[in-house]
Amino acid sequence: GHFASRARARGEDGVPRRLVALATLLMILSFAAPFAPTPMAMLLVASVSLAGGGGLFALATTDMMARVSPRQVSAAGGITAAAQSLAYIVANLLIGPSVQAAGSYTPAFIALTAWILPGCIIWLLWRLAPSPRIPDIVANQ
């Protein structure tokens, strides 16, 4: 969040791609979790990975909020929160049967880590339209 705010203060438009790429790289460290030799190593891998996940949540929300009208920020935030909640519900419904079938959390853990890659890669490759500037939006209303 700090680095995104500084980039915005420097006049960069939208969320800096390098921050999304870094957060994605941190998140996919979860692929190393099954190979962690000790519980402490697993805890460190999970901690760094979840820091990347937190970064992705913050950056995606920031990008989305910058692209909606100030009048729609509340509704957009609510819809985003509802979509995230639905994703958690679906993921949890799939984790239980996966753990029962495999006798381990590893396949579910790997699948959930892999799930973030397509969206992050598409976002990084997509040439997004510039986000509207708040003063421009307010002046045009």
The pLDDT tens digits for 116-140 are 999 999 989 987 666 665 554 444 5
Q: Give the separation between CA 40 and CA 44, rounded to whole angstroms.
A: 6
Cβ contacts of 57 within 8 Å, gap of 6 or more = none
- The answer to whether residues 20 and 124 touch, using CB atoms and an 8 Å cutoff, is yes
Separation CA 58–CA 51 (nearest Å): 11
pTM score? 0.78
* 2 pLDDT more than 90: no
pLDDT digits (tens, 9 = 90+) for 18-76: 999 999 999 999 999 889 999 999 999 989 999 999 999 888 888 888 888 889 999 99
What is the predicted pLDDT for the residue at 100? 95
User: Which residues have C-beta within 8 Å of that of residue 7, sequence separation ≥ 6?
Assistant: 16, 19
pLDDT at 129: 66
Residue 131 per-residue DSSP state: P
From CA 105, how far away is CA 98, in angstroms rounded? 8
10's tokens? 């420097």
Residue 130: what pLDDT?
65
| Rg, Å, the chain Cα set | 18
pLDDT of the residue at 5: 76
pLDDT at 137: 47
